[in-house]
Amino acid sequence: MTPFPFAPYIVAAVFALAVGATLGGALIAVLTSRLIRAVSGLMVCCLGLAGLYYFLNSPFLALMEILIYVGAVCVTIVFAVMLAEPDEPPRRQGARGWLWTGATVAVSAVVGVTLARLSLQGPWPTLPATLASDGSVAAIGRALLTTYSLAFEVISLLLLLAILGALVIARSGRKSASASGGTTSASSPSRPGQSPALQQTPAKKEPALEVVT
């Protein structure tokens, strides 16, 4: 039985699309001067990378790449772009700027060409005849809960600590910034005769206190 006659061409076109999206998205992410376009380029790059993972026999990781990178990481970076500056500062003009750009291109080109040559010439082993598992989602889950259970627990602890640390760091400098805006009443330290419990009430519940002080 022959499948659809143009199937190899379609597969090759999808593969070329994935490779092009990965490279083009990475170039957009690096070269544009507006940060929001750079984040969009990173999204395109991760979509192309998900396609390459699909070609590498792991649709589970393709789904995870889209879910984590496009759905979580890029959206978080977009929030940071909205809270901070949207643009790059102007570049250094003149000979020193061009010299710096040329040195950057040279360093990255040397690294890339060297690694590409090494990976093409390397004495890679051949694939053994019998594989230890089939690489399916069931095999990944079994390995995660038996062989790699300690690493699995440690990385869940790391993610929890990262969330808590991000909350603490992003909240620490907030009191002085929001006191000038007058949005919360818990922030002004110069308020005599108030109990600590009253000081921590948010401004929405005590609008009179906010107006008086």
Partner 1 sequence: MNPLHLHEHPAIYLVLAALLLAIGIFGFLHRRTLIGMLISGEIIFAAASLNFMAVNRFFAPDPAVGQIFVLFIMGLAAAEVAIALSIIIAVYRNYRSIASAELSELKG
83-112 residues near partner 1, rule: CB under 8 A: 83-85, 88-89, 91, 101, 104-105, 107-109, 111-112
Provide the residue count of the chain: 213
Q: Does 79 bind partner 1 (CB under 8 A)?
A: yes
Per CB under 8 A, 44 contacts partner 1: no
- The pair of structure tokens assigned to 169 is 């760091």
Q: Rounded CA gap, 181 and 186, in Å? A: 13
Looking at the Cβ atoms of 19 and 203, the one nearer to partner 1 is 19
Of 130, 128, 146, nearest in space to 138 by CA: 146
AA letter at 166: A
Q: Which of 34, 197, 95, 110 is nearest to 209 (CA)?
A: 197
Residues 55-74 that bind partner 1 (CB under 8 A): 55-58, 60-61, 64-65, 68-69, 72-73
Tokens at 83, concatenated: 């809270």
Q: State which residue, 102 or 207, has the beta carbon closest to partner 1.
A: 102
Q: How far apart are CA 149 and CA 139, in angstroms?
A: 14
**Dihedral of CA 100/106/109/111: which sign?**
negative
Region 17-36 residues binding partner 1, contact defined as CB under 8 A: 19, 22-23, 26-27, 29-31, 35
Tell me if 132 contacts partner 1 by CB under 8 A.
yes
Asked whether position 183 contacts partner 1 by CB under 8 A, the answer is no
Do residues 26 and 64 touch, judged by C-beta distance below 8 A?
A: no
From 63, 81, 203, 209, residue interacting with partner 1 (rule: CB under 8 A): 81
Smaller CB separation from partner 1, 125 or 193: 125
Decide: is 149 part of the binding site for partner 1 (CB under 8 A): no
Nearest distance, CB of residue 123 and partner 1, angstroms: 11
> Alpha-carbon torsion 103, 106, 108, 110, what sign?
negative
Residue 47 makes contact with partner 1 by CB under 8 A: no
Tokens of 5: 């006659």
Stretch binding partner 1 (CB under 8 A), from 53-61, 185-193, 194-202, 203-211: 53-61
